[in-house]
Structures are given as structure tokens and as C-alpha cells.
Amino acid sequence: MIINGREVKKHVLKRPFMNNFKRPVQQPPQKPSNLNNFNTPKPSFLELKSRIISFIRQNGPVLPIQVAKAFGKDTMFAGAMLSELIANKVLRVSFAKVGGSPVYYMPEQEAKLEILREHLSQKPKQAYDLLKEKQVVRDNECEPWERVALRELKDFAFPVAVRHDDGNEEIFWRWHLISEDDARKQITGIVSGIVEQIKPAATAPDDVGPKPEPIKPEKPDVEDPRKKKQKEKLPKAEKLPKEKKPKKAKVDAYKNELLSFLQQKGLEVLEEVPMKKNDYGFVVNLESNVGKLSYMAIAKKKKKLSDDDVLLAYSSAQHHKLPLIIIAKELSKKASVLLEKDARGVVFIQL
């Protein structure tokens, strides 16, 4: 640029204070710091399990997806946590499913399982209502469809085996909220045909009831001098009982065979459960990817097991609140169908 015949550069025209002026640098707004989450350590594995137990105690029965959402985890992780809690007998899982998934609940939440009724099909729902009303149902008095439906209600219908004096056995079904002892009392009344009735306490007058016998004065014990003195007899020497030799314990070859078989299958025997003659029960541990799982292993000294044998074994396992492993040489056709369709949680191992 030429001013008054002189060439002037553009930067000379700038005012001095403009050269020293610097625009303020705009910084991005800072996010408010959350003091609660600042340097907060992630919960440990044991702490997370404790939180899940508290959540189920407050909201159970629950689905795995509810647990996953509550703790910000995926359903696979939630399922693994729930499986471990079941293996440790902290939780229980239902047989009935809601949308393809079972529900998980605490042992004291059995009464809340009624939410599953709406997810049952028509026939099991009718059998559910029948058993809830009667509390105890005789299997051989049910319609064929009722017998099948009761076997599907594994969360609500528990089999009770009854052996008669003639040696025959039959099955009754008890409602899951009544104890086995109360169920057997009702079964006794059903079999005998006698219904126990509690009579109300009668407001009887004071003079009702057996009167006490009058107390007779005792006669003084006066020795009759006319009686002859009897000769004193020396007591006979007492014979010491002969020492009984300890009986030799009978060797149970079948039991030893079972224990050896369980060891070969990698099952750790924790304890033996007392059972009736020719039946053997053991609480065993099985190693798995999620830890040790406890089972009830039951065997019967019999060549072929029937469907009633399977139901009796299932009833015993349910009484001990353990999943079932049946050990046998052979199963009948009805027993095989029962395991395949109605007892999918039961494991069969051929001896």
C-alpha cells in the first residue's frame, strides 16, 4: 500500500495494543465429579454374591434377566452366579418356566411360587387346583390325565410312598406347603376310612368324672405270735450271665460293589442315607465347572427298576432336597419313559 508516495506494509497499520491482544482460549466445560463413584473399588466376588442373595430375598422369585439388570451384568454371568448359589444350597430353582426360563427363590419363598400357576398349561393347572384344595391326593383314584399332570407339577406335587401290610406299595401326592408328617396323617385317615374329629372341650360341672376312692385307714401291722417262725433260707448263688461273643458283621457285597462303582465314576461319597431293605442311598459330590455339586445317589438291589421304583427314589431325593442319580442295571419301559418325559432332571447311570 502507498500512502503519500511511500510504500507502507500492512502490519505497520495495526495498532500496538492489537498486537499484544490474545483471545481467551475456550475450554470445554468440565463434567461434575461424582464423589461417590470417585476411586470406588468394584465389589468383590463374595460381596456380589451377598448382594444377589439380598436382592432375591427382597424380590424373589426372580428370573436371571432381572438379576442381570439389577447388577449391570449379562445374563450369562447372572446364570453362572445363580448356578453356584444353587450348588451351595443357598437358592432353589423351579422346574416350571416363565418364557423358557426357570425362577430362582429362597427356601422360605415356596409360598410365592403360586405366580407360576398362570404359566402352566390347561391340564397341569387343573391338577394344581385339585391338589391345592385337597392337600393330599391318592394316585390310583385319579383320572389318567390327572396322574400325568401331577407328575408334571414337580414344584407343587411331591410323591409319598406308602407300603401296606400285604407288602404292596402305592403313591399319594402331597401339596408342597404341607409337611410329609402331616401328609402321612391324612393318608392314614384316607386308607383306614376314619376321619379324625376333634371334639370340643365340654364345660362339665365339678362333680362329673371319676370320684376318688375314700382312703381306708391302714391296720397296724401286729405280728401274730401263734404263727411259727419259718426257717431262714440262704439265698442261692446268682449265676453270672455268660459273655456273649460279638457277632461278626455281615459283608454286604452289593454295597461294596456300589461304593467301588461310585469311586470309579468320580463321585465322592459324603455319607450313607439309611433306607429300607435292599435299597441303598448315598449323598455324593460331583466335580463340575462351577464347583462341587451335591446329589442323592440311590440304587436298588433289583435286576430291573419299575416306574414306581423311580418315583420312590425321586421322593426320597426330594425329601433330602437334592437332585437324584439312579443307579441300576436295567430300567423297565415305563421307567425309561418316565425318566425321559417327566423326570428330566434325574440322572441315570447303568451299573
pLDDT in tens, 307-347: 888 888 887 887 788 888 989 888 888 888 888 877 767 88
Tell me whether residue 224 is in a domain: no
Query: Looking at the structure, do residues 98 and 127 belong to the same domain, yes or no?
Result: no
Q: Is residue 233 part of a domain?
A: no
Last residue of a domain, one of 170, 192, 214: 192
Are residues 338 and 260 part of one domain? yes
Q: Please tell me the predicted confidence (pLDDT) of residue 211.
A: 43
What whole-number distance in Å separates Cα of residue 146 and Cα of residue 139?
9
Are 98 and 128 within one domain? Answer: no
For 110, the 3-state DSSP assignment is helix
Higher pLDDT pick, 162 / 44: 162
Grid cell locating 107 = 427356601
Q: For position 212, what pLDDT does the model report?
A: 41
CA–CA gap between residue 281 and residue 316 (Å, rounded): 9
Indicate if the pLDDT at residue 99 is higher than 80.
Answer: yes
What is the Cα gyration radius of the chain?
39
Asked if the structure places residue 98 within a domain, the reply is yes
Among the listed residues 298, 340, 349, 348, the one whose alpha carbon sits nearest the alpha carbon of residue 322: 298
Q: Is 91 part of a structural domain of the chain?
A: yes
Residue 288: Cβ-neighbour burial (10 angstroms; 0-12, 13-18, 19+): exposed
Identify the domain containing residue 290 by its residue range. Answer: 253-350
pLDDT of residue 114: 93
Confidence of residue 20 (pLDDT cuts 50, 70, 90): low
Q: Residue for cell digits 457277632?
A: 247
**For the domain that residue 258 is a member of, what is the CATH number?**
3.40.1350
Scanning the chain, the segments in alpha helix (DSSP H) are 16-19, 45-59, 64-71, 75-87, 122-134, 144-152, 180-192, 253-264, 307-319, 333-337
Question: CA-CA distance, 260 to 267, in Å (whole number)?
Answer: 10
* Cα distance between residue 329 and residue 347, in whole Å: 14
pTM over 0.85: no
Domain count, the chain: 3
Determine the average pLDDT of the residues in 118-132.
93
- Domain CATH for 175: 1.10.10
Identify which has the larger pLDDT, 319 or 118: 118
Domain assignment present for residue 316? The answer is: yes
Question: Of 192, 209, 236, which residue constitutes the final position of a domain?
Answer: 192
Confidence of residue 222 (pLDDT cuts 50, 70, 90): very low
